[in-house]
Chain A
Amino acid sequence: MSTPQNPQTNDSPAEAAPGSGVPALAFDDTAKKSWISRLPIVSHLRQSVGLQRGMLITGLVLCGIVIICAVFAPLIAPYGFNQLGTSEGNFGSKLPPGGTHIWGTTVGGYDVFSRVVWGAQTAVAVIVVAVVMSIFAGVILGLISGYLGGWLDRILVVIADAVYAFPTLLLALVMSIAISGGQSSAWGGIAAAAFSITVVFIPQYFRVVRAETLRLKAEPFVESAIVLGASKTRIISKHIFRNATRTLPLIFTLNSSEAILTLAGLGFLGFGIEPTSASEWGYDLNKALPDVTSGVWWTSVFPGLAIVLTVLGITLVGESMNDLNDPRLRVRRKAKTKNVKPAEVKA
């Protein structure tokens, strides 16, 4: 319980908390070496039994496939996302699945399989950027607002509540008009989509973290820190932060799935990313809409299934984590408060 040891135990989870969810999902397979990313999911896996375990594993496998597609898209996809033909000529329009194009080609003459694979890259990029940004903004605002209180807190709460009640997709639409004027360039489109989704999600993190902060503010260990003369910045960043952010990995998974759906919705309304700059599943579905009535099913079914399976994977992981966390959370919290209290008194 020496003082140098204490900041260390405080520090590493503190840094890990917002990030821990991120590598766990985004780089599930690549970053398994680091213990931070291992901890949440691997421990859940060990704990789970029967049906629960099946759900968790299915979810992880689905997420893994999406991430592999995203990272190795250039190797997996036989053609580029904006490639219309090879040196032997164009692919042709609306070719049924089979032969050189296992999932057929679109009306525009793109290879469906290639576009679905490249679409994973866009989806993962948007999720990571959007969710990481909204966690940062939401957590910081939530901590400050919850701890300091006063007029700033009231204003932020009213704004967050107003934004929270707003339909996600509509807000994202307005945001993407504000950011890019409804137009999209290569990374501009991805950034616009990510930013739009960020703004939508900030209130969610804000609310959770603020509520936790309010609760923690009254805990004895915070009071003792105040008595010892710790500054507000220190209390917020050391004492409250690590305790208030415990539920974030769970919200992270829930939000990632919502982020994909929002991105697809934006794309479907024509606010996606142009086919020449990146591949996006929602946009492809928008282009496939007229095909459906003429019986051309492959242009819509494959990108659609990609969305469904990605969201399904993330949701299954989130659901299982939620179920597994429930009884454990209490045990953990008790142990933590015990640890922190005597250490702080000594410090």
Chain B
Amino acid sequence: MSAAISEPGAEAAETSVSVKKPSGGGLGRYVLVRFLLIIPTIFILTTLVFFLMRITGDPITASMGGRLTQDQLAERIHAAGYDRPLLVQYFEYMGDLLKGDFGTAVSDGQPVSHILLTYGTATVELVFYALIVAFVLGIPLGMLAAYHRDKAPDAALRVLAILGYATPVFFAGMILKLLFGVFLPILPVSGRGTTQTEYILSGVVDPTGFYLIDALRIGNFSVVGDVLAHAVLPAIALGVLTAGVFLRLVRTNLIGTLEQQYIDSGRSRGISEYRLVTKHAYRPALIPIVTVMGMQIALMLAGAVLTETTFGWQGLGFKLAEYLTARDFVAVQGIVVFLAVIVAITNFIVDVLAAFIDPRVRY
């Protein structure tokens, strides 16, 4: 990141000589530098994960240690190539990764890349719903808190935001399950759809794996309803955490912009208070949200692991927990590396987006 900042900084010095340089060049260069930076990031993360996972030994012993005899173990290890020098394995692993090959799971023999594709979309779907919850709750409430700064609504909302942060997603999920699944049984508490829905959706030709899209494509509205009903509780459990972060960000930034002179001038021209907050002050206050989105998505992916386990949502996190229990470290490594790559790429996209919206980021 520091290189990303220092590079455009150097460029800013150049442009100060010829002031009227089109800003598009700055953005292009920023995007390029920022893009080149994700390569070392991904490289370091995969290297780190590889060696950390291997410190304690080979994956076969970890997974099958108690169940096979010494000879059988040695045979399996030899067949999989885990008896070769670690560096050789490392280079082979990195080479395979470049080809999109994440290895083969020890416990069920599935190619890890296949697991990633099958279950990845479920995780994306969950994070998507959770982001909607976070935006719908966080931004308006943040505006409300900022407008009533230091008064009762502000205090209540701030405490709520801290509570949202202080509650582990799995505990929030369990409470939601208790409230809306047991004491007031109105919502399904487990899975992505009923057995019937799963069956109907498994018949979709060329499925996206994104249940809502698949259900909309076949135009079966009871299935759409079922898919959405199943998503409500997990999305709330995961979304509330980020909603708290958004609330606080919007509040802080909106308080800053509400003190600006252009707001006073707007007020003197008779623009309604509602319009001042939602139109005039709101936009500049949104920029910081975009910049923290990258971190939030990283947080949400980790949160998704826990949420999926809580709600039996068959996504990557659910599988990760399963493979952890089975001590299948090849699959674990694959999923972790994959998630890390996703986070690095989203961070890149978010940074570019922020630079696009706010030119100050570039310099």
Minimum CB–CB distance from A174 to chain B (whole Å) comes to: 5
Complex interface: stretch among B99-107, B169-177, B264-272: B169-177
List 3 tightest A-B contacts by C-beta distance, closest first: A167-B302, A304-B171, A311-B166
- The segment from B15-23, B117-125, B206-214, B336-344 that touches chain A is B336-344
Say whether A178 contacts B174, CB under 8 Å. no
Inter-chain CA distance A294–B45, complex, in Å, is 41
Q: Mark A169-186, 1 if CB is under 8 A from B, else 0.
A: 110011101101110000
Task: Pick from B1, B321, B339: contact of A167, CB below 8 A.
Answer: B339
Query: Which of B44, B162, B174 meets A292, CB within 8 Å?
Result: B174
Asked if B68 is an interface residue, CB under 8 A from chain A, the answer is: no
Cα distance, A154 to B15, chains bound together (Å)? 26
Q: CB distance B336 to A170 under 8 Å?
A: yes
A102 at the interface (CB under 8 A from B): no
A158 interfacial by beta-carbon distance below 8 Å = yes
B69 on the A face (CB < 8 A): no
**Which of A124-132, A228-236, A263-271 binds B?**
A263-271
User: Are B302 and A289 in contact (CB-based, < 8 A)?
Assistant: no
Q: Does A301 contact B (CB under 8 A)?
A: yes
Interface string of B156-185 (1 = CB under 8 A from A): 000000110111101100110110011100
Q: Provided the pairs A162-B40, A300-B174, A307-B171 are in contact, do residues A269 and B324 lie with their beta carbons within 8 angstroms? A: yes
Query: Out of A162, A175, A270, A294, which one reaches B325, CB within 8 Å?
Result: A270
* Complex Cα spacing A158 to B48, Å: 13
Contact B155 A51, beta carbon cutoff 8 Å: yes
Interface residues of A (CB under 8 A from B): 51, 154, 157-159, 161-163, 165-170, 173-175, 177-178, 180-182, 257, 261, 264-265, 268-271, 282, 285, 288-289, 292-295, 297, 300-301, 304, 307-309, 311-312, 315-316, 319
> How many Å lie between the Cα of A257 and that of B167 in the bound state?
11
Known: A166-B45, A181-B56, A269-B309. A288 touches B174 (CB 8 A): yes
Are B301 and A173 in touch, CB under 8 angstroms?
no
Structural contact, A161 and B1, CB atoms closer than 8 A: yes
Q: Which residue of B lies closest to A170 (CB)?
A: B336
Q: Is the CB of B174 within 8 A of A170?
A: no
Contact of B170 among A154, A174, A180, A268 (CB under 8 A): A268
Cβ contacts under 8 Å, A182 to chain B:
62, 324, 327
Residue contact A170 to B150, C-beta cutoff 8 Å: no
A292 to B177, CA, bound (A): 7
Across-interface contacts of A169 in B (CB, < 8 A): 302, 305-306
Q: How distant is A210 from chain B, measured CB to nearest CB, in Å?
A: 9
Collect the chain A residues with CB atoms within 8 Å of residue B305's CB.
169-170, 269
Decide: A261 and B45 in contact? CB cutoff 8 A.
Answer: no
Distance (Å) between the CB of B94 and the closest chain A CB?
15
B171 touches A166 (CB 8 A): no
Query: Count the A-B residue pairs with Cβ separation under 8 angstroms: how many?
Result: 157
B310 at the interface (CB under 8 A from A): yes
Contact in complex: B321, A270 (CB < 8 Å)? yes
Contact indicator B332/A177 (Cβ below 8 Å): yes
List chain A residues, Cβ under 8 A from B57: 181
Cα distance A293–B174 in the bound complex, in angstroms: 9
Q: Contact at A285–B336, with CB atoms within 8 Å? A: no
Among residues of B, the one whose C-beta sits closest to the C-beta of A310 is B166
**A residues within 8 A CB of B190?**
293
- Which of B48, B55, B301: most chain A CB closer than 10 A? B48
Nearest CB of chain A from residue B10's CB, rounded to whole Å: 15
Besides A158-B40, A170-B336, A174-B336, 5 more A-B contacts (Cβ < 8 Å) are A175-B52, A269-B309, A304-B168, A307-B171, A308-B163
Residue of A nearest to B335 (CB): A170
Contacts of B347 in A (CB 8 A): 165
- Asked whether, in the complex, the Cβ of A268 is within 8 Å of the Cβ of B309, the reply is yes
* Chain B residues numbered 1-59 whose CB sits less than 8 Å from any CB in chain A: 1-3, 40-41, 44-45, 48-49, 52-53, 55-57
CB–CB A165/B182 < 8 A: no
B170, A285: Cβ atoms under 8 Å?
Answer: yes
> Contact: B310 with A167, CB < 8 Å?
no
Q: Which of B56, B306, B310, B344 makes the CB contact (< 8 A) with A165?
A: B344
List 10 contacting pairs A-B, 8 Å CB cutoff, sorted by A. A159-B44, A162-B45, A165-B347, A169-B306, A181-B56, A268-B306, A269-B320, A300-B174, A304-B168, A315-B166
Task: Please indicate the chain B residues that have their CB under 8 angstroms from the CB of A288 in the complex.
Answer: 174
Q: Is B200 an interface residue (CB 8 A)?
A: no
Q: Point out the residues of chain B lying under 8 angstroms from A289, CB to CB.
A: 170, 174, 309-310
Q: How far is the CA of A151 from the CA of B291 in the complex (A)?
A: 28
CA distance A265 to B301 in the complex (A): 13
Of B1, B40, B53, B177, the contact of A178 (CB 8 Å cutoff): B53
- Chain A contacts of B165 at CB under 8 A? 257, 311, 315
Question: In the complex, which residues of chain A have a beta carbon less than 8 angstroms from the beta carbon of B309?
Answer: 268-269, 289
With a CB–CB cut-off of 8 A, which chain A residues contact B44?
A: 158-159, 162-163
Do A285 and B340 form a contact, CB below 8 Å, given A170-B305, A311-B166?
no
Nearest-neighbour CB distance to chain B for A39, whole angstroms, equals 25
A295: which B residues are within 8 A, CB to CB? 178, 182-183
Q: Is the CB of A270 within 8 A of B324?
A: yes
Contacts of A158 in B (CB 8 A): 40-41, 44
* Chain A nearest Cβ from B119, distance in angstroms: 15
Determine if B298 is an interface residue (Cβ-Cβ < 8 Å): yes
CA of A62 to CA of B351, assembled, Å? 38
B53 and A157 form a contact (CB under 8 A): no
- In this assembly, does B246 line the interface, its C-beta being within 8 Å of a C-beta of chain A? no
Which residue from A157, A168, A175, A304 sits with its C-beta under 8 Å from B302?
A: A168
Q: How far is the CB of A164 from chain B (nearest CB, A)?
A: 9
